[in-house]
């Protein structure tokens, strides 16, 4: 897989090791002046295999859209390739200017990794925006661009679900389905909010997931619940809903990511938690205290703070191991 944002890395099939530029996003905080400085560091590194042995023949068995990839035309349509080449410019950092259209900051970042052999196979990491129940977590998505693209939208699936057990959002199902009008998987929007062949892009889809789905109060994304917004009952329900999502964010998008980072994103995961670790721990402790308070003051409320405390201990242990490994 080749990084197109935040990091640029090529990872070919097994036994095909070459060298290529990497761009790693290093986020450096100047605490004394309270100014955040974003630095993109360019360096060379040896590629590592992107596929397992059984994938060397092009089966992509670890990718969610393996069957779609196998069935796709050996020679993709010219229209699809032309459009992907155009769009890649907005995803790839410029070597000279080192810029990208993708969000790249501690508050919200998106990292895209494209397969070294196919322009239509991607893996994506989206960091949860600050101020949301996903803040500080890293969420993996798999993407495949069909041969009919751009007449039809790309296919995208959330992989960070705890084995299809956790529904992080009314628009992010436990099976990984992403409900978004832009993808044609949610039909509550206007005609213009759907996929537009001439103007809609993969970049637009990724940014929409981060900005329209990963919001401060995802509870109100559920159809019919928006009427509760700005009411006492609605806010209580929303906070209870958030407590569970915060707990699962710690468990799967933080601890899980540190223990088992997605192939190709190992450096991104390490950099993210090395830089953001202390702030994330502070944030998670605050989440737990708020959940404890809700459980003690609201009848029938499950104390997700107890679960968060357990996950926070695991998170601290993983961060300690990470810091130790950086010293060695």
Give the residue numbers annotated as catalytic, written as ranges.
179
DSSP SS3 for 243: helix
DSSP SS3 for 111: strand
Count of alpha carbons within 13 angstroms of residue 215, beta-carbon side: 13
Nearest to 161 by CA among 149, 148, 146, 176: 176
Question: What values do phi and psi take at 112, rounded to 5?
Answer: -120, 135
d(CA 65, CA 288): 37
**Torsion of the alpha carbons at 320, 323, 324 and 328, rounded to the nearest 10:** 170
d(CA 191, CA 212): 17
The tokens of 230 are what? 């700005």
Q: Dihedral sign, CA of 260, 261, 264, 266?
A: negative
Question: What values do phi and psi take at 213, rounded to 5?
Answer: -100, -50
Question: What values do phi and psi take at 43, rounded to 5?
Answer: -155, 165
């Amino acid at each position: 897989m080749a990084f197109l944002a935040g990091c640029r890395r090529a990872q070919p099939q097994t036994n095909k090791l070459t060298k290529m530029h990497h761009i790693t996003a290093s986020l450096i905080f100047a605490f004394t002046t309270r100014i955040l400085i974003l630095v993109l560091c360019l360096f060379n590194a040896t590629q590592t295999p992107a596929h397992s042995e059984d994938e060397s023949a092009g089966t992509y068995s670890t990718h969610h859209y393996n069957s779609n990839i196998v069935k796709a035309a050996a020679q993709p349509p010219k229209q699809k390739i032309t459009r992907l080449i155009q769009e890649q410019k907005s995803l790839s950092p410029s070597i000279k200017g080192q810029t990208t259209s993708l969000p790249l900051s501690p508050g919200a970042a998106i990292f895209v990794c494209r397969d070294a052999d196919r322009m239509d196979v991607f893996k994506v990491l989206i960091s949860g925006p600050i101020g949301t129940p996903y803040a500080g977590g890293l969420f993996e998505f798999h993407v495949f661009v069909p041969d009919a693209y751009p007449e039809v939208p790309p296919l995208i699936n959330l992989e960070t679900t705890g084995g299809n057990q956790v529904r992080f959002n009314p628009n992010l199902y436990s099976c990984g389905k992403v409900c978004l009008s832009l993808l044609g998987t949610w039909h509550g929007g206007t005609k213009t909010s759907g996929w537009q062949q001439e103007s809609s892009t993969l970049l637009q889809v990724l940014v929409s997931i981060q900005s329209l789905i990963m919001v401060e109060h995802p509870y109100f994304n559920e159809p019919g619940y928006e009427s509760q917004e700005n009411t006492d009952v609605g806010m209580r329900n929303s906070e209870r809903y958030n407590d569970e999502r915060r707990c699962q964010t710690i468990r799967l998008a933080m601890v899980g990511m540190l223990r088992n980072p997605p192939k190709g994103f190992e450096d991104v995961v390490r950099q993210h938690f090395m830089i953001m670790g202390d702030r994330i721990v502070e944030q998670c402790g605050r989440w737990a205290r708020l959940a404890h308070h809700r459980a003690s003051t609201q009848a029938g409320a499950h104390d997700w703070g107890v679960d968060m405390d357990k996950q926070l201990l695991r998170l601290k242990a993983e961060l300690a191991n990470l810091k130790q490994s950086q010293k060695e």
